[in-house]
Amino acid sequence: MSETKIIDGKAVAAALKAEIRSKVARLQHSGPIPGLAVVLVGHDPASEIYVRSKIKQTTEVGLASIEHRLDSDVLQEDLLRLVEELNEDPAVHGILVQLPLPAHINSTEILLAIDPRKDVDGFHPINVGMIATQSGGIVPCTPLGSMKLIQSVRPDLAGLKAIIIGRSNIVGKPMAQLLLAQDCTVTLAHSKTRNLAEEIAASDIVVAAVGRPHCIRGEWIKPGAIVIDVGINRIVDEQGQRRIVGDVAFDEALGRAGAITPVPGGVGPMTIACLLSNTVDAFLRETCPD
């Protein structure tokens, strides 16, 4: 058994937020500051917790936080109108519409309405296309945070074999693009992939984004591999305690992986830090385009 480095996502996120805070403090001297607008529709408890945390961290780094809470029966056209107003608002540099939206709302139409320059979640097809063609674009926060964690332990990834398990638009697919852009040889695995264990055993980097507790077994991991666990799963453990665990059987992976992110305390804290960083970058592109 060799020692596995535990990648401390909280510490990396704190360092990134400290950098953002000092950038914003410098901007404050010279004029307007970046603003992040968050739109929350309805009262989904998980979304409420997430949005509260986003707003708290937005103000902690000195950004302006603009909050819009709408009833769950809001009409599609009223939500669209709000997005359009935020697109036009010079005090708003990032717009985040919290998902999931109620079933009667056409989420695709809402996300398409966001000005791609203010799309700090990186979900708009314009940004997706720009990332895919390596021509700039706003990178979705969770994959961006995951890349920063990988590169915190190994900056040069050229030639490494990477596997991502999960092909969602918000995590798996953009993650594949980012690793490809770093010259990795990328496998994007999903629920229909054959011989997943063998695919993982051949990989130097493993990113798990499935949403099934401990579905990636430790014995599948190549000795020395970097393992990034994006999964967030709420379970009741053998002692009857409610816990949050990842997709990777963490205890089994210890002593085998070269480095691994814990859950909680790994990718999670990076997601919001990257949202704040995307907002500052959107502001800088808007106010000083060169």
For position 166 contacting ligand NAD by CB under 6 A, the verdict is yes
Considering the rule CB under 6 A, would residue 209 count as an interface residue with ligand NAD?
yes
Q: Does 140 bind ligand NAD (CB under 6 A)?
A: no
CA distances from 113 to 1, 79, 158 (A): 52, 10, 37
Q: Does the protein bind ligand NAD through residue 189 (CB under 6 A)?
A: yes
Instruction: Please count the residues of this chain forming the interface with ligand NAD, following the rule CB under 6 A.
Output: 25
By CB under 6 A, tell whether 276 contacts ligand NAD: no
User: Which one of 137, 172, 174, 218 is in contact with ligand NAD (CB under 6 A)?
Assistant: 172
Q: By CB under 6 A, tell whether 244 contacts ligand NAD.
A: no
Q: Which is nearer to ligand NAD, 220 or 283 (CB)?
A: 220
Known catalytic residue: 182? no
231 near ligand NAD, judged by CB under 6 A: yes
For CA atoms 114, 117, 122, 126, the dihedral sign is: positive
In the complex, least distance from residue 50 CB atom to ligand NAD, rounded to whole angstroms: 9
Concerning whether 28 is annotated as a catalytic residue, the answer is no
Smallest gap, in angstroms, from Cβ of residue 101 to ligand NAD? 15
Euclidean distance between the first and the last CA atom of the chain, given in angstroms as a whole number:
51
3-state SS record for the chain: CCCCEECCHHHHHHHHHHHHHHHHHHHHHHCCCCEEEEEEECCCHHHHHHHHHHHHHHHHCCCEEEEEEECCCCCHHHHHHHHHHHHHCCCCCEEEECCCCCCCCCHHHHHHHCCHHHCCCCCCHHHHHHHHCCCCCCCCHHHHHHHHHHHHHCCCCCCCEEEEECCCCCCHHHHHHHHHHCCCEEEEECCCCCCHHHHHHCCCEEEECCCCCCCECHHHCCCCCEEEECCCEEEECCCCCEEEECCECHHHHCCCCCEECCCCCCHHHHHHHHHHHHHHHHHHHHHCCC
Binds ligand NAD by CB under 6 A, chosen from 211, 252, 254, 285: 211
Q: How far is the CB of 176 from ligand NAD (least distance, A)?
A: 11
Which CB sits closer to ligand NAD, 15 or 91? Answer: 15
**Which candidate in 23, 57, 119, 121 is catalytic?**
121
Q: Candidates 60-68, 78-86, 108-116, 183-191 — which segment interacts with ligand NAD by CB under 6 A?
A: 183-191
Indicate whether 99 belongs to the interface with ligand NAD (CB under 6 A).
no
Q: Which of 57, 98, 177, 182 is catalytic?
A: 98
Active-site annotation holds for 121: yes
Tell me the catalytic residues. 54, 98, 121
Interface with ligand NAD (CB under 6 A): 142, 165-168, 170-172, 189-191, 193, 196, 209-212, 215, 230-233, 267-268, 271
